[in-house]
Amino acid sequence: MGDSSDRSTSLGALSMSTRVTITLPDEVYRRAESLAQVTSREVADVLADALALSLPASDPQAGPGMAVATYSDQDLLAITELELPSSQDRRFSELLDKQQSTHLPPDERAELLAFMQIYQQGLLLKARALHEAVRRGLRPPLEP
């Protein structure tokens, strides 16, 4: 791991970030690069998201979409109904099925990982939105 870092604040987004230089094994970089290509993103963004998803938050309400208490009733209810678009849902299912029956090539493994991250983030956001909607009396609690 490198020891180089610097902190910066983005005034537009009012978010703080720290630039870190690290040394990665070639295979890890290739997987991140493949995922970046599949998702049309920068490698640095893919790696930052992977770290953010794999490290527990010190504040469970921190992060994008986590302050659902600030959303309007209409937006909150819309979030509780979010689903993957049908074409993405079909592709996600295909990849999951293929993973069960065979070894996925690196590009499809990266695509599956991207879908899994999107699904996990969406599920967490929906759960928080549902909790807030129930708290506001906009939806009845789910039955066990």
Domain chopping of the chain, boundaries: 24-136
Question: By mean pLDDT, which of 38-42, 77-81, 92-96 is the weakest?
Answer: 38-42
53 has pLDDT over 90: no
For residues 98, 38, 127, 94, the Cα torsion angle rounded to the nearest 10 degrees is: -20
Residues 61 and 132 sit within 8 Å (Cβ to Cβ): no
On the question of pLDDT at 86 being above 60, the answer is yes
Rounded distance, CA 32 to CA 136, Å?
41
Answer with the residue of higher pLDDT: 31 or 66.
31
4: pLDDT confidence band, cut at 50, 70 and 90?
very low
Cβ atoms of 32 and 47 closer than 8 Å: yes
For 13-34, write each residue's pLDDT tens digit: 334 678 889 899 998 899 888 8
- pLDDT confidence of residue 132: 94
d(CA 77, CA 20): 38
Select from 106, 83, 87 the least CA-distant residue to 37. Answer: 106
